[in-house]
Chain A
Amino acid sequence: MKEIKVLGSGCKNCETTARIITAQAERMGVAIRLEKVTDMAVILGYGVMSTPGVVVDGRVVHAGGLPGPDDVTAWLS
């Protein structure tokens, strides 16, 4: 079970990022628990200023802009 957090204020790019990750996890058959974090204090607590950010199992793996499909595959495997 991978713990994934999508950091963002709820803008379109953040929604899309969450959707890309969910879809890719389904395709790969990987169990994930995805949480959308909108609390600014928590987002900045991860040291991220450019959203959307992605945290996998407590580690920041992405900040700013949509992640590419290869990135998502790498996080999930």
Chain B
Amino acid sequence: MFYWFTELADALVFGLLGMDATTRAASALHFFIEDVAKIFFLLIVIVFLLGFFRSLVSAERARRMIGGQSPWRSYPLAVALGAVTPFCSCSSVPLFIGFLEAGIPLGVTMAFLITSPMINEVAVLMLASTMGWKMAAAYVVTGLVVGLAGGLVIAALKLEHHVEAYVWQIRMGQAALPEVDATWRGRLRYAAGQVREIVGRIWPYVLGGIGVGALLHGFVPEHFFLQYAGADNPWAVPVAVLAGIPLYSNATGVIPVAEALLAKGVPIGTALALMMSVAAISLPEMIILRKVIKLPLIAIFVAWLFVAFVVVGYLFNAWFA
């Protein structure tokens, strides 16, 4: 079904504007128009469908399900729920406190907090529809493994004393949470509200990502990436992860960039490492987390993600070479 978007871009760029298909500007503009149409269409449909079916997965529910479980069950549950539970990054502080208050160990809590921003179900479905199921599956599996192993490492290092002292003193109330309207009408309304809220919040990132993708696609010559980011440059993966840190964006916004990079011959592991770094290691998120954890734990958290993404990049480059 995606040829519609190609045809739309063809009609606008070559037909209406009469641009020469061999020029760089035409190629960039074509990428931009095609991706804006395709990605926003997918984004709205996917967010609506997920909103419709998922009005019941909340952080409060995740806390209840993980609390009181044995480690054998709590770690897998934490990463699985982290993958499907959406929460705004401004909720990570109350969420962190709420989990610890429920007696959920620090390692399990961190496993949840690592996985949640990394695996974004909208991004997963968009990856699958723009770059195929193999890329989407690779993204999900690595996200789960990095989150799970990260939680276990933090638990093994016994870092509880790097949690701010006031956190342990907060007691959480037993407020009855508002009932969710589970009728058809209620779900449709909720889903429409999700589209307004999520698309309304992330559209600048998505547009920015498509813009960068279009510029890479149109103006960067093929040999540039093969020379500097090709499989035989061992520095490409760590540089990609480092480059992702200041490029704070929503996971959805990185997809068009990764799409353009892959088309230019950048290996899958390098593209994946950049995607995960952009989505999961962000300065604003670390500043928010600083309210509840001290700098050494933040440093370990960032270092873990850095090392994990570099390893993931090398592994996928080797497997898919």
Contact = CB atoms under 8 A, between A and B. Distances in A.
Interface residues of B, number: 35
B88 A44 contact: no
A40 interface: yes
Given A47-B173, A65-B193, A9 B97 contact: no
Q: Please classify how large the interface on chain A is, using the bins under 10, 10 to 19, 20 to 34, 35 or more.
A: 20 to 34
Contacts of B89: 11
Contacts of A66: 193, 196-197
Given A49-B60, A63-B58, A44 B177 contact: no
A50 B60 contact: yes
A24 B95 CA distance: 29
Interface in B38-91: 58-60, 63, 87-91
Interface string B169-188: 11111111110000000000
B170 A41 contact: yes
Given A11-B88, A68-B193, A46 B173 contact: yes
A58 B320 CA distance: 57
B191 to A, nearest CB: 11
B277 interface: no
Nearest to A61: B178
Interface of B: 58-60, 63, 87-91, 93-95, 97-98, 101, 166, 169-178, 189-190, 193-194, 196-197, 201, 288, 291
Given A47-B175, A51-B94, 6 more contacts: A13-B88, A40-B94, A50-B94, A60-B177, A63-B58, A65-B194
